[in-house]
């Protein structure tokens, strides 16, 4: 029987890098003149993978998010995986925004990716959903490279990672 090569498609952020970015953003906020005397803060709930931003008003919220986003980019955290919540009023004349970090491919997007691979009609490549990942198998390594190139050319609203490549 011919050997089958495979790779896994996944997504997610390194939570330690997110924590580091939040700490760096907090230090920058403490130093910046435009944030002096304001009630701006960033909280990171590691267990739920949720960032909570609190600011005085919408203008400061945008500035706070820009600082956080630049720190996340510098630390290599995919900002495509951020699900931005609405800006809501909070206690003490402040506004709050929750940002969810996508850890793992959601089921409906995983189905769309598997369907796209099947619709493209690669010769013998087969994709299957395995929890929060997708495993793609084919007898030919070249065909797996074509699948990776195809998936990189598509936009699913997630930063896809290709790993666990077995030949």
Helical spans, DSSP H, in the chain: 15-31, 58-74, 107-119, 141-153
Reported as a single tens digit per residue, the pLDDT across 33-83 is 888 888 888 999 989 999 999 999 889 999 999 999 999 999 988 888 888
Do 55 and 110 share a domain, yes or no?
Answer: no
Give residue 1's pLDDT: 43
- 49 with 93, same domain? yes
Q: Which residues are 43's β-sheet partners?
A: 52
24: pLDDT strictly greater than 90: yes
For residues 124 and 75, state if they share a domain: no
Same domain, 59 and 97: yes
- Taking the C-alpha atoms of residue 48 and residue 103, their distance in angstroms, rounded to an integer, is 10
Listed range (1-10, 135-144, 155-164) with the worst mean pLDDT = 1-10
Of 101, 118, 152, which residue sits at a domain end? Answer: 101
Tokens found for residue 108: 């409906």
Domain of residue 132, residue span? 5-12+105-166
CATH at 109 = 3.30.70.860
Cα 133 to Cα 154: distance, rounded to the nearest angstrom: 17
Distance of CA 162 to the CA centre of its chain: 14
- Work out how many domains the chain is built from and give that number: 2
pTM of the model: 0.81
pLDDT, tens digit, 9 for 90 and up, residues 103-141: 888 899 899 999 988 888 888 888 898 988 999 998 888
Residues 122 and 47 in one domain: no
Same-domain check for residues 85 and 109: no
DSSP run (H or E) holding 42: strand 41-45
Q: Is the domain of 88 the same as that of 153?
A: no
Could you tell me which of 117, 103, 115 has the C-alpha nearest to residue 158? 103
Boundary (domain end) residue, out of 47, 72, 101: 101
My answer on whether 93 and 122 are in the same domain is: no
Using CB atoms within 10 Å of the CB of residue 110, give its burial: 0 to 12 exposed, 13 to 18 middle, 19+ buried. Answer: buried
In the structure encoding, which two tokens stand for residue 113, read together? 């990716």
Residues 83, 86: Cα–Cα separation, whole Å:
10
């Amino acid at each position: 029987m011919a050997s089958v090569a495979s790779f896994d498609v996944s997504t997610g952020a390194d939570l330690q890098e997110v924590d580091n970015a939040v700490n760096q953003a907090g230090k920058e906020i403490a130093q910046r003149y435009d944030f002096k005397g304001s009630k701006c803060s960033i909280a990171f709930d590691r267990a739920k993978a949720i960032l909570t931003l609190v600011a005085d008003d919408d203008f400061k919220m945008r500035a706070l998010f820009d600082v956080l986003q630049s720190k996340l980019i510098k630390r290599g955290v995919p900002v495509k995986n951020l699900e931005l919540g609405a800006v809501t009023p909070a206690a003490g004349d402040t506004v709050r925004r929750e940002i969810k970090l996508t850890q793992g491919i959601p089921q409906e997007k995983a189905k769309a990716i598997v369907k796209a691979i099947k619709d493209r009609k690669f010769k013998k490549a087969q994709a299957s959903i395995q929890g929060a990942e997708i495993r793609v198998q084919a007898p030919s390594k070249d065909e797996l490279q074509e699948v990776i190139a195809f998936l990189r050319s598509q936009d699913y609203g997630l930063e896809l990672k290709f790993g666990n490549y077995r030949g």
